[in-house]
Amino acid sequence: MDAPPFIISSDAINLIAEISSMLERYIIAMEGDAGLKLRKANRIKTIHSSLAIEGNTLSEDEVADIINGKKIVAPIRQVAEVKNAIKVYDAYRSLNPFSEKDLLRAHGIMMEALTDDAGRYRKGGVGVYGEKGLIHMAPPAKMVPQLIGNLMEWLNESKDHLLIRSCVFHYEFEFIHPFSDGNGRMGRLWQSLILGRLNPVFEYVPVENMVFANQENYYNAIYESTKSGQSGPFIDFMLREIRNTIIKYKRIEKVPDKVLDKVPNKTQMMIVRLLMESPRMTSTQLAEKIGISSRGVVKAIQSLKRQGILERVGSNKSGMWKVNSDNNHG
């Protein structure tokens, strides 16, 4: 297995630690009704961002109209790009990021009727262009199947952190430029899919949105990596974007450290987190969410009450739970 060349900087190591602890600590705001709205808004943003980077001029509202089945007056190709992107994101959960077959299947959906070779590797040479023009000439077409095969093998077998693997894959994919069209879209989608294996929240906080807001630096990071012959600069850039995005979407209420330090087990910790987010949750709802019996939840709540971490405010029927961050018990 040939590993792609990359150097993990001390910045990258710190960012991985920071991202990992944030994903554990924060309840990312994707649950419940508010989450559903946010997920839908983010799906619209994702599709709009990914296509706008490639020069599609439709607005976010027009993309929303197409998603909602409304007819809009716009260039046929641009509408087709949106419709195809919707189909790909609908298939998101059925796509395996570690499968080359799924990579080709996703490209087939993404580029259907937009290019003659949708779902197949390119047969000609291509240049990789950024904001400043040509970044580099992609490897010859005859090498593409082997290069992607090697990259997929590395993605599957590498022991590196998924955050690192997702960034290296994204950069190497853009370097190889395996398709005649749609490479940018596919590279960003694939990084989102790989990250989704780390935490499902990445389905709704996708890479496309991060890149769209920061295109110039994105292309600079690709350029710097190409210049230095390894993807370190791109890894640093993407990890910073991922961290900043999580900060943007995390819940404001953070369970105070001193509370979590006192919570003896994982079930109780999940209960504390859920009740901080939704203080009116019933034990039945908590049981469903955590995947244990209602009796187990009741026992855990009694223990948390004894420790002074939880208290009931108001009646059993109409009251709510309060998490005490300043208790001196235990």
Q: What is the pLDDT of residue 26?
A: 58
Residue 313, SS3?
A: strand
User: Is the predicted pLDDT of residue 221 greater than 70, yes or no?
Assistant: yes
Looking at CATH, the fold of the domain delimited by 10-249 is given as Fic-like fold (1.10.3290)
CATH assignment of 257-323?
A: 1.10.10.10
**What is the DSSP secondary structure assignment for residue 7, as one 8-state letter?**
-
Average pLDDT of span 86-101 = 95
Domain ranges of the chain: 10-249, 257-323
Pairwise CA distance, residues 273 & 256, whole Å: 10
- Closest by CA to 288, choosing from 299, 302, 274, is 274
User: From its phi and psi, is residue 55 left (phi > 0), alpha (psi between -120 and 50) or beta?
Assistant: left
Give, in degrees to the nearest 5, the angle at Cα 160 between 155 and 164: 80
Contacts of 143 (CB under 8 A, 6+ apart): none
Largest CA distance in the chain: 72
Note the pLDDT of residue 151: 98
Assess whether pLDDT exceeds 80 at residue 189.
yes
pLDDT at position 328 is 47
Q: DSSP per residue over 73-116, as a string?
A: -S-HHHHHHHHHHHHHHHTGGG--TT-HHHHHHHHHHHTTTTST
Note whether 10-249 and 257-323 share their fold.
Answer: no
